[in-house]
Structures are given as structure tokens and as C-alpha cells.
Amino acid sequence: MLDEELMKALKEFPKDKMSDGAKVPVLFISSVSGFGIQQLKDVIWETINTN
């Protein structure tokens, strides 16, 4: 499990773009604690409904 300091450092790492420039959301999730699951579901729902 990640602590808040490590999550902050990883968020600053630029992984949110593909090589072709397409924007890709970066989310932190944990199936153990449930952290970020609602945010993941929201992003999936938004993606499904915008395409």
C-alpha cells in the first residue's frame, strides 16, 4: 500500500500522455482498502458515455 507522500511523488511523474499525445488518466486504486474505486468507476462511466 502506498503512503500519501509516495502517491504525491508518483502523481507528479508525467505518465498521463501516450506517445501519440492522447491523454490517459492516472488513478491510484486499492482492491484491499477500496481506495480510489469510486473515482475509477466515475472515469469509466464518463469514458463510456462520451464516446
Q: What is the pLDDT of residues 39-51, one digit of tens each?
A: 999 999 998 998 6
- Residue 43, C-alpha cell as written in the block: 472515469
Tens of pLDDT, residue by residue over 6-40, are 777 777 666 556 667 677 777 888 888 898 999 99
CB 8 within 8 A of CB 26: no
Residue 17's φ and ψ, nearest 5 degrees, are: -135, 140
Residue 23's φ and ψ, nearest 5 degrees, are: -80, 130
Whole-number Å distance between alpha carbons of 33 and 1: 9
* Prediction pTM value: 0.62
- Residue 33, C-alpha cell as written in the block: 482498502
